[in-house]
Structure 1
Amino acid sequence: MIAAERRGIADLIDSLSPGQLRTPSLCESWTVQQVAGHLVAAVSDLDVSTLLLLLRSGFNVHRANDRLARRVAERHAVELADLLRHNADNPFRPPIVGYPGQLTDLQVHGQDMRRPLGLPHELRPEALRVSLDFLVGGRAVGFTPKQRPAGLRFEAHDIEWSWGSGPLVRGTGEAVMLALTGRTVILPELDGDGVPLLTRRLRA
């Protein structure tokens, strides 16, 4: 699943114009190309320059991640796509979040890139279920705080997935995944009596 997502995003990058690559993504202050840089950096070799970058960032992982994504994104888009394809089957398993975290990172960031460009992309149900289970399973460090889904029931009506108890948040599997990872743009696509509470948590 991870390899397929990397290849799909590489194809996406190859299809985009320079203007599309400069478009702001759904992910914080990154452009579409900078999101691609982040995905490439996740499978690039850890070298001395990367360690120095982490040191200059005061060992703040999030700050170092941002700087690394921007630096890698300075490469030509064709090179970014080629690196993703070359590393499609890279077996690296991140600590704590493991392969489910890596798959989730690819699926979420792929939509971060596609949605602002109006490019629909149907995620595979089996991959979505892995990511949804991961996001509510307590190991999603850096993806969603544990208190975000607490006390709510989530249902993905298109892939027959549900979790939790309490006020209901219901939508497509993609919409639920993006909401759990903090994308407020997705809120109008959700329904249920738990949406107001989730909205407050996302905007707090």
Structure 2
Amino acid sequence: MKNDNGTAARLVGLAREVMQVSGYAGLHYGSLAKTLGITRAAVHHYYPNKVDLARRVIAEYCEWTRQQLAEIDVMDAPVDDKMRSYFALYRSIIEEGDERLCPGGMLAAEVMTLPPELRADVRKFFDLHVTWVAKVLLGDGSRTEPAGEAARVVAALQGALLVSRLYGRPDSFDAIVDGLMIIVPTTAPIPTKRPARKASVPTKTRKNEGR
């Protein structure tokens, strides 16, 4: 097939968008093929099974997340500023539009019906976030066991995305995030735009099918 890499990248990007809105259950090869203007056989050529495609989406999203966290790690900034940059990663999902949620959060809501290998990938995704937040919170010198607080932060951010979509109000997200600064002392307003350079993610395709 011609332009295999380009088509595969578009397929993963579209699958991510669908999963952010409709989850794993909303991922249908027929809809993907129609949106991309290819055949179902072509979709199966790249990813024989739906679970393979979903795992690729999560793998790429994890890698993107690692890149963003690495950028925050090298910031010459106090803990609260680093956490604001982390919060802004979630805020950027709202700014993408289409009532999207974090793909990891969407899959976590379906965890009981996911294939075992995909369920394990989702847990690794959350472990990545909780471990990083715990490391940053530990850096302020006031905590010896921040894992519990880190888990609460990640859970609150995922919930904030859900509430924002439910009410159609991004300020609902901001209000919840404001409350997280009880855990992380604040010295400045929480940004509504990401301060760090946004890494490359799969480009936005036409409006999702299978929503």
With structure 1 as the length reference, what TM-score do the two structures score? 0.28
**Structure exhibiting the larger radius of gyration computed from Cα positions:** 2
TM-score after normalising by structure 2: 0.28
Question: Which structure is higher in strand share?
Answer: 1
Higher relative contact order (CA 8 A, sep 6+): 2
Q: Higher helix proportion, which one?
A: 2
